[in-house]
């Protein structure tokens, strides 16, 4: 009898162990009700990231997200280890989805794979990851680099001195943009890249670093900018140098003001491609759609077109403004009858909800030429 009891007890313990192990391996079971969607942002050290988070907070305060989603925001100071730990904590909390603007294209792949294994929807945007299970949303950063570079080459007729002001090193977006530009410039032996340095996608940093570089540089004919474009031009203006013939840059309000005339100067040629801060709102909608089963998880990247303008198409009050800071990114919202999303200026500036219901038209089937 004692032997039988020991056998039964042993079987019971073994069964409990199996059940416990199986439970740990299962995805989180989430209660009915609002979806918990967390934003894991790697870097908050420039105006674009602040604006992006404000777009997210504004959207979360508007219907249908106000009712259907519980939002949270985490920043990791561009620290891969810290962002990994934050995502690990979110996995433990059993959130429904994590939106990731990554500190590294590869460094988060392990923890993201763990999140996917637990049934959490992971949506990477802006600075993407290479983890196969993550849904990816972005404009083609490689194409950004190409477009700005080719515009510069065309306006300079294949000959001139160019400076390259890059973004946050180590991020996938910075790598892709730089590679896109380099692949264009190397085709033209008379285009000389006379300086390449970081502006950290920040106007003040780009202005300071450009001012430090200028004394050692020859005449500058063209500027290729991954961000902080207005700061670069202000540094050139303050140095007493002539303005460059052509600029291929981002969507900063100050840069676009130089396209229509600013501080007594107007650029001869300029292309402004805006990486839209509202891509986080598209990521939010994709996560909501997948969690609610109103749309299947996309198999490929959801590509977003870059809002863009030139010296010929920039118009005050339409795609450039006189009542916002120069470092403000004018691509905070889309415009026109086919707009992806429309966010009010105050939403982008403060994170407060805009009036009315927010409609997000996800371009599920858009495919840009040469996308990488």
Q: Where are the domains of the chain?
A: 1-139+277-304+340-372, 141-273
The Cβ of residue 48 has, within 10 Å, a number of other Cβ atoms equal to 28
Q: How far apart are CA 33 and CA 102, in angstroms?
A: 28
pLDDT tens digits, one per residue of 20-42: 333 334 444 444 569 999 999 99
Instruction: Tell me the CA end-to-end span of the chain in Å, nearest whole number.
Output: 71
Q: How far apart are CA 119 and CA 326, in angstroms?
A: 42
pTM: 0.81
For the record, the structure tokens of 171 come out as: 């991020």
The Cβ of residue 346 has, within 10 Å, a number of other Cβ atoms equal to 14
pLDDT of residue 247: 98
Section 60-70 average pLDDT: 98
Return the higher-pLDDT residue of 4 and 129: 129
Section 314-343 average pLDDT: 90
pLDDT of residue 33: 65
Q: In a 3-state reduction of DSSP, which class is residue 102?
A: coil
Name the nearest CA neighbour of 372 among 182, 172, 185, 224.
172
Helices (H), 186-245: 203-213, 229-238
Q: How far apart are CA 118 and CA 309, in angstroms?
A: 43
Q: How far apart are CA 284 and CA 94, in angstroms?
A: 17
Tell me the fold of 1-139+277-304+340-372: Rossmann fold (3.40.50)
Within its chain, how far is the Cα of 115 from the centroid? 21
pLDDT at 51 over 80: yes
Within its chain, how far is the Cα of 169 from the centroid? 14
pLDDT of residue 91: 98
Query: Using DSSP, how many helices (H) and how many strands (E) does the chain show?
Result: 12, 12
Section 192-196 average pLDDT: 98
Q: Do domains 1-139+277-304+340-372 and 141-273 have the same CATH topology?
A: yes
pLDDT of residue 172: 86
Structure letter (DSSP) for residue 352: P
| Residue 271 φ/ψ, nearest 5 degrees | -115, 125
Residue whose pair of structure tokens reads 């050692």 in the numeric block = 216
Q: Where are the beta strands (DSSP E) in the chain?
A: 35-41, 69-75, 97-101, 121-125, 135-138, 160-166, 191-198, 222-225, 246-249, 269-273, 302-303, 308-310
pLDDT band at 16 (very low <50, low <70, confident <90, very high): very low
Tell me the fold of 141-273: Rossmann fold (3.40.50)
Of 9-18, 253-262, 275-284, 358-367, which gets the smallest average pLDDT?
Answer: 9-18
Bridging pattern class, strands 269-273 and 308-310 = antiparallel
């Amino acid at each position: 009898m004692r032997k039988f009891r020991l056998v039964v007890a042993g079987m019971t313990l073994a069964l409990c162990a199996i059940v416990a192990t199986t439970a740990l391996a299962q995805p989180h079971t989430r209660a009915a009700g609002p979806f918990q969607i967390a934003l894991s942002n790697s870097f908050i050290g420039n105006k674009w990231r602040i604006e992006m988070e404000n777009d997210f907070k504004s959207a979360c305060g508007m219907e249908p997200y106000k009712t259907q989603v519980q939002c949270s925001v985490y920043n990791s100071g561009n620290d891969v280890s810290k962002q990994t730990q934050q995502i690990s904590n979110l996995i433990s909390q059993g959130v429904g989805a994590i939106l990731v603007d990554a500190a590294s294209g590869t460094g988060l792949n392990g923890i993201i794979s763990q999140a996917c294994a637990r049934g959490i929807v992971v949506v990477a945007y802006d600075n993407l990851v290479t983890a196969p299970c993550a849904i990816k949303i972005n404009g083609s950063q490689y194409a950004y680099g190409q477009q700005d570079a080719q515009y510069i080459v065309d306006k300079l007729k294949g000959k001139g001195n160019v400076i390259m002001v890059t973004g946050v090193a180590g991020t996938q977006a910075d790598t892709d943009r730089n590679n896109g530009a380099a692949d264009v410039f190397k085709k033209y032996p008379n285009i000389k890249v006379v300086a390449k340095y970081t502006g950290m996608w920040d106007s003040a940093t780009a202005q300071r670093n450009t001012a430090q570089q200028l004394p050692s540089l020859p005449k500058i004919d063209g500027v290729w900018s991954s961000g902080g474009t207005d700061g670069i031009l202000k540094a050139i203006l303050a140095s007493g140098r002539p303005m460059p013939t052509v600029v291929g840059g981002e969507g900063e309000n100050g840069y676009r003001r130089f396209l229509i005339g600013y501080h007594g100067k107007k650029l001869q040629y300029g292309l402004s491609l805006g990486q839209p801060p509202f891509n986080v709102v598209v990521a939010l909608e994709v996560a909501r759609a997948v969690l609610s089963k109103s749309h299947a998880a996309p198999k490929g990247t959801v590509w977003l077109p870059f809002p863009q303008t030139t010296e010929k198409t920039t118009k005050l009050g339409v795609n450039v403004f006189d009542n916002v800071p120069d470092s403000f990114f004018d691509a905070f919202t889309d415009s026109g009858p086919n707009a992806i999303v429309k966010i009010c200026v105050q939403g982008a500036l403060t994170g407060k909800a805009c009036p009315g219901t927010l409609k997000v038209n996800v371009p599920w089937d858009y495919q840009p030429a040469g996308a990488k």
